[in-house]
Amino acid sequence: MNLPFDPIERAHENWVNRWGASPPMAAVTSIMRAQQILIAQLDATLRPYGLTFARYEALVLLTFSSTGALPLNKIGERLMVHPTSVTNTIDRLEVQGLVQRRPNPNDGRGKLAEITPEGRNVVEKATRDLLAMDFGLGTYTEEQHWELFTVLRQLRVSHGDFQDPTPHTPPLAD
């Protein structure tokens, strides 16, 4: 694109002329554009592995599980996505041989999604590539990464994503 002006700033100028200043409109529009940019970069990095960022997140979540397996409803809860999205994601990962479904021993009707050895291998390689490109945020410093995290965390808390009884302090770099 490389426009000679900032279209979001221009939109805000037009907004001001019609409805008055709205920094929240400019901020949310910037966030939505940033999401588009990041998803495009992340998905391009993950494409050689046959993954989207959503599928990558599911695989990573399974690697964080002590057994490598989780009930589908837990996956949806932890990734904060609709059950239909979880089913679709696990279906695709299963076809790729990166996940397998197995009966849940704690719930006769439920199923667990379990990461396969190939899934673990793909997660390691994909993670290496995502880290190398700073998850698309290489234009920011580490301090700015934590500032972004903190600002957006406040929004997530205020909308009930999780309870936050104490203020968050980002970890110190090694």
Q: What is the per-residue pLDDT for 173?
A: 62
Tell me: do 88 and 69 sit in the same domain: yes
The verdict on residue 72 lying in a domain is yes
pLDDT in tens, 107-160: 878 899 999 999 999 999 999 999 999 999 999 999 999 999 999 999 999 998
- Domain identity same for 41 and 55: no
| Mean pLDDT of the residues in the chain | 93
> Are residues 58 and 38 located together in one domain of the fold?
no
Say if 172 falls within a structural domain: no
How far is the C-alpha of 158 from the C-alpha of 118, rounded, in Å? Answer: 39
Q: Are residues 56 and 131 in the same domain?
A: yes
Same domain (yes/no): 33, 73? no
Confirm whether 19 is domain-assigned.
yes
Q: Enter the pTM of the model.
A: 0.86
Radius of gyration from C-alpha coordinates of the chain: 20
Instruction: Reply yes or no on whether the pLDDT at 174 is more than 60.
Output: no
CA nearest to 110, candidates 87, 81, 85: 87
* Other CB atoms within 10 A of residue 123 CB: 19
Together in a domain, 127 and 79: yes
Indicate if 73 and 101 belong to the same structural domain: yes
What proportion of the chain, given as a percentage, has pLDDT over 70? Answer: 94
Q: Is the pLDDT of residue 167 over 80?
A: no
pLDDT computed for residue 169 by the predictor: 65
Q: What is the pLDDT of residue 26?
A: 95
pLDDT of residue 172: 64
Range of the domain at 33: 1-49
Residue 143 maps to a domain: no
Bridge partners of residue 101, in order along the sequence:
113
Q: Which of 45-49, 92-96, 101-105, 107-111 has the lowest mean pLDDT?
A: 107-111
* Residues 128/48, Cβ–Cβ less than 8 Å: no
Average the pLDDT over 57-84 and give the result: 95
Residues 57 and 110 in one domain: yes
- Do 64 and 41 share a structural domain? no
Least confident of 55-59, 86-90, 108-112: 108-112
pLDDT grade, residue 171 (50/70/90)? low
Residue 61 lies in a domain: yes
Tokens of 1: 């694109």
